[in-house]
Structure 1
């Protein structure tokens, strides 16, 4: 007995898309977060160096689009309450303007472990990567 021919419908694949709706091959919108905790002269050089380094680093990446460098100077990292630039960055993330955040270290991002984990999880849920 011969097998009956099956009707097959081919459904073409759609291009992969990121959580924010950008095509997979689109440049990732990248920013950096910098912070120094004191207003001392030594820290001022670190602050300026961090901003220059990350601006250059992001702009050199052909797969990234530069968004901004968010930088808090002379601000403690124990709470995010008074960190205006950090809070502006989080708002920009919530508004869908950022795909990747880079920062020097976990301690620059947040000194409070619960704050750090909370923000990283919140950002991850929005498809935003944080690189330390």
Structure 2
């Protein structure tokens, strides 16, 4: 049985490599979403810790640009209508102002599974 001849394509290396191009790489615009559902004292400290943690984490990463903290305090995750910062964050993501969102848990987006999946797919 005769074998068919193989065709090999050679892709030459790009001889021009500019180190300055690497430095110009676009930084990711990173935001964080924080939410606590009640205004109890222990939830207050969790809320403040989330805000401080994500602010520090984003600002300390040289590959990231701080795009803000979006935070809703004392608001349930069962409905997104009253969560003004969450809605503003989604709008900013869809407008191309945010590349990545950090959050404590995906359940911060919504307690309703369908809503949560909808927002994740949008992003």
| TM-score between the two structures when normalised by the length of structure 2 | 0.79
Cα distance in 2 for residues equivalent to 1:67 and 1:96: 11
Write the deviation string for residues 45-64 of structure 1: whole angstroms up to 9, x where unpaired: 01000000000000011111
Aligned to 1:92: 92
CA drift at 1:108 = 1.4
* 1:62 pairs with 2:62: yes
Which TM-score applies when normalising by structure 1?
A: 0.73
Unaligned runs of 5+ in 2: 1-11, 15-23
| 1:121 alignment partner in structure 2 | 121
| Residue in 1 that maps onto 2:30 | 30
Q: CA deviation at 1:79?
A: 1.1
Write the deviation string for residues 62-96 of structure 1: whole angstroms up to 9, x where unpaired: 11100101000000001111101100101111221
2:106 alignment partner in structure 1: 106
Name the SS of the counterpart of 2:52 in structure 1: helix
Which stretches of structure 1, 4 residues or longer, exceed 3 Å deviation after superposition?
Answer: none
For 1:25 and 1:109, the matched residues in 2 are separated by: 30
Unaligned runs of 5+ in 1: 1-9, 13-23, 124-132
Shift of 1:107: 1.6
